[in-house]
Amino acid sequence: MTNFFDVATERRSTKVYDPNHKISREELSKMLEITTKAPSAWNLQHWKFLVFDEKQIQEKLLPIAYNQQQVLEASAVIAVLGDLEANKNVDPVFNPAVEAGFMTQEIKDALNAQIQGAYQSEQVARDAAFSNASLAAMQFMLTAKASGYDTCPIGGFNPAALVEEFSISDRYVPVMLITIGKPLQEARPSSRLPLESVVEFVK
């Protein structure tokens, strides 16, 4: 079994990939299945993934990502979308738990009231879409590393162009792109701020 601490320590953003390496859809699906085990507020699973794993499709994505060559050379690119209407997931998420006896109908109804109340705010919906989809994005990158692949999260792209080119529903907001593949060169190490500058133990 791959050691988690090795995976977390060794994961680095890779931008130069072997353009001839193919990752099967079966393997991508396995990694994405583990990705969906990420935590989310109310377990509403505020994410959707678009998989670009064919070169002709990745070519369409290239200008949207400001011509970053890694988008074309990677084995695949995952567009991570946040769900602005995750409150609509209440029934498919909670009904199985109610039917299995893990949750009472009363508890489900109470949670649903909380959720629908919170989603009256567009800002809450947007914040939840970004924060929860980002949890899934990190889970995907760690899963990929444990599976022998490198990744790179990309925030530099045109979200509006992505939505238009690929007819993305206005239910979803683009959060990031993630390239995945076999590296042609080792990613350079990056420094980290000293722990004492980012951690404060509250007294």
In a domain, 114, yes or no: yes
Residue 201 has pLDDT above 70, yes or no: yes
| Mean pLDDT taken over the chain | 96
Domain count for the chain: 1
CATH of the domain at 144: 3.40.109.10
Q: What pLDDT is stored for residue 197 in this prediction?
A: 96
Element containing residue 76 per DSSP (H, E): strand 76-83
Instruction: Flag whether 133 is in a domain.
Output: yes
* Mean pLDDT within 111-133: 98
143 falls within a domain = yes
Q: Which structural domain, as residue segments, surrounds residue 172?
A: 4-184
Radius of gyration of the chain (CA): 19
Instruction: Check whether 2 has a pLDDT greater than 80.
Output: no
Residue 190 has what pLDDT? 86
CB 157, CB 66: distance < 8 Å: yes
In a domain, 193, yes or no: no
What lies within 8 Å, CB to CB, of 96 at 6+ separation is none
Q: Is the pTM of this model over 0.75?
A: yes
Q: What is the pLDDT of residue 1?
A: 58
Q: How far apart are CA 2 and CA 148, in angstroms?
A: 10
Element (H, E) at 72: helix 70-73
Is 126 contained in some domain? Answer: yes
Determine the average pLDDT of the residues in 142-149. 97
Residue 39 lies in a domain: yes
pLDDT band at 138 (very low <50, low <70, confident <90, very high): very high
Task: Give the CA angle between residues 87, 127, 47 to the nearest 5°.
Answer: 55
Residue 187: pLDDT band with limits 50, 70, 90: confident
The answer to whether residue 75 sits within a structural domain is: yes
Tokens 């080119």 belong to 165
Check pLDDT > 80 for residue 15.
yes
CA distances from 114 to 47, 160, 185, 199 (A): 20, 31, 49, 32
